[in-house]
Every structure is written in structure tokens, then in C-alpha cells.
Amino acid sequence: MRKKFFIFALLAAFIFPAYAETVFFMQPVTKSIEKSDAKKIIKNLEATVSAKLDAVSYKDVPKKTLKKFGSCGMKAECWSENAAEENFKYVLLSLIKMNEDEEISIRLVLISIEDEEVIDDETKTYDDTDSVTEKALFSQIKKLSGYNDIKGSKKSKNDKEIDKRTKKMEEDRKKRERELERQREEEARLEKERKKRERMEEERQRREEEAEIALLEKERERRESERKAEKASKKKSLKSNAGKLKKGRELVLEMCAEGKYNDAVKAIVKISEVKCECEEDAKVLALKTQLLNFNKVREQIIRGVEAKNSSLILDNIEAAKALDGSIVEGGTEFSQKVDKYAAVGWLARGREMEKADKYIEANEAFEKCIEIDSEKAECNEWLESKDKLVKKIYDKANVFKYSNPSKAKELLRAILKLVTAENDYYKKAEADLQQLEY
């Protein structure tokens, strides 16, 4: 039974080793000593602490943390405040100094973080640099009153290897945590910047929208002002135009009365471009239409007179009269000439019918010519010379009596219409016509 208990105790001791409280070995401070000598002593001191104490070296903590610890010095309350979250309970400070006799003094200070007090402050002087060995340093450390709390336990080579791997894993864990924390901080910073940019962008857009709305409102007011001004100006202009149109229309009528038709047409076309949006617009448009139509038929009549074309004259006379009367009450200057134009038209028609051997129609035309213009000499002369004309017609009928009896009969009938029964050729024509018909 005792044997089993002993074995169990050994196993428990092996599995659950009693480690001492961890001490943080702060970076040594050097003063008045050559760099190479200081480097050698620090190396021995680091090796001694690593081998003999349950320690965490200043090399194992982040630079940011080390910098924070560096501001504490021997102030225990500072260490308690800044190292409370760490895994160690103590802090070991060291000062390496060379005096005027080239002796080396090494001061060791042990601080309890939990109790916020300096446990020990011990200084030892060495003859020279070479005398500061690991053994000598360990001897100095052993004399510290808190040594038993910070000394390391004896471990096998395998334990040390396990501790080394465990320490490496812990360092890796802390490194990952620091990296994660750094990532979180970076993400938080980026998120903060993103939100700031969003706020700035929203503010910029808001300002732009407000500026655009203000600009649109200003533009709307400007357009409204322009519209009102334009409306007022247009109203004033239309009122003025009404007077201009009336005056212009009256002027055109005066031109028509004076026979200045071409000038009147040009004037009414130009006047019609002016608008008053009133009754005068319709009056001007009506006058323009009437005048353009009238001038068109008037020109046809004048062309017919010049060309002795009865159709151009007679076909447009009645239309010209009607338009002339609608333009100016009682007619324009044209109304004084219309009968003479009509007489010329019937004269031309008579000549055309005579030329076509249509003597009855020619006679009617010349009679209408005299009816319209009794002083028309050509028409009077033709009617007065019918005796000579019927002889000419009778001679022509004789020519056609055998070659074209129908034509001969037409000519003979014309004689019967042109002269009375007392005329010698009337009797001849009547006898010849009876002969041709039987």
C-alpha cells in the first residue's frame, strides 16, 4: 500500500511540478562602461537569470509593452498599474556601472507587483569585467531576500524541451492574439474611416443637393420673372400692333382706291406679319386673301387685253368685279376701267369668231361690245360694214356649195342672221339654202 502511494506521489510530482512565481527580467541599464564590456556582462546576467530563475526575459515581450515598462523605473506602483495583466508576479531590475577605479558594480532590485513594494535592493562590486561570471552573478542573486519566490525548479532535459515548446506555443499564441488585436484595431480604424467618409460623402451630397435646389429655385424665379416681363411686353406690343394693323389696312385700301394694286399687295403681305391677337388680325387676313385673289384675276385680264385673248379677259371679269366690290365699298379704281376691259374682251371674241367663220357668234360679240361701250370704234365699224361682210360670206358659201355642202349651208344661215330680208344677199342666201336642202 505504501509502495503504491509513493509511486502515485512521484507521478503527481512529475505531472504537476511546483514552479516558483514568475519574475520579469527587465532590460539591464548600463552607465559609464564600455559597450563591449557591458555586452559581455549582460550576456552572463541573461544566461544566469534564464538558467536559475523562473523568469520572462525582456526579449520575450513586444516592443510596445517594453517601452511602457521602461517608464516605470523603480516605481512599484507604476509596475503594478502597467504589468497587472501580465503572467509574472515580480520584476528584477539591474544596473551595471563602472567606477573611477574601473571596478564593476552591479545593483539588483526586486519588486513585488501585487504588493507594490521593493522587496530587495542589493549592490555588489567586482574587481573587473572578467570577474563578473555567471557563477558570481548567481551568488549575488541568491542573496536576494525574495530569491526563494523566483528561483526555478530543477527539470530534466525532456521537461526543459517541453517547457521550451510550451513557451514557444505561448509566444505564438500571444503573437496571434496580438496580430488579431492589431487586425481588429485596423478593422475598427478602417470602419471608423469608412463611416467618416460616408458621413462626409452624405454631407457633401446634401450640400450639393441643397445648392442644386437653390440654383433650380433661383432659375425658376428668373424664368418666372422673364415670363411675366415677356407677357407684359407682349401685351403692350399686341396693343400697339392693333393700332398698326388698323392703320396699315386703311393705307392698303387707299392704295387700292388709287389703283396701286401691286404696292397694295406688297404692303398687305408685310402688314400681315404683324400680330395683335385681336379682331384686326382677321380683318387683315381677309383683306390679304381678297387682295391677292383680286390682283391675280386683274393681272389675267390685263394680260388678256395685251394679248387680245378674249378668254383671259371675259373669264375673269365677273370675279374681278366681285372681289373689287368686297375690297372697297363702291369699288376701287379698277371699277372705272372694268367696262372698257370687257368691251375689249368682246371685241377680241368677235375677231376670234369671225376668223373661225362663226359669224353669228361674232355678231353677238360685237353687239355686246357696243352694248358695254357704245363708242368702241372697232365694234361699230364691224357692225356697220355687214353689207360688205355678207357678200364675202356669200362668195365663200358658193365655193363650198359642191365641195362641202354642210359648210355652205352654215355660211348661208349666218347671212340670214346678219342682215334683214330687204338685203339682196339675204334673198340669195335664202334661195341657195332651199336649193341645198332639197
Per-residue pLDDT, averaged over 419-424, amounts to 89
d(CA 225, CA 238): 20
Per-residue pLDDT, averaged over 243-254, amounts to 85
CATH architecture assignment, domain 2-154: 3-Layer(aba) Sandwich (3.40)
pLDDT, tens only, 357-398 = 999 999 999 999 999 999 899 999 999 988 889 999 999 999
Which of the four pLDDT bands, split at 50, 70 and 90, describes residue 8?
Answer: very low
Report the percentage of the chain scoring pLDDT > 90.
37
Burial class (CB in 10 A: 0-12, 13-18, 19+), 44: middle
Tell me the angle at which helices 35-52 and 134-142 cross, rounded to the nearest 10 degrees: 60
d(CA 95, CA 45): 11
The structural domains of the chain, with segments of one domain joined by +, span 2-154, 157-289, 290-437
Cell, residue 48 = 544566469
Which of the four pLDDT bands, split at 50, 70 and 90, describes residue 6?
Answer: very low
pLDDT reported for residue 250: 83
pLDDT reported for residue 277: 81
The whole-model pTM stands at 0.44
Tell me the angle at which helices 386-403 and 405-418 cross, rounded to the nearest 10 degrees: 160
pLDDT, tens only, 52-100 = 898 899 988 888 888 888 889 888 889 888 887 777 889 999 999 998 8
**5-9, 95-99, 254-258: range with lowest mean pLDDT:** 5-9
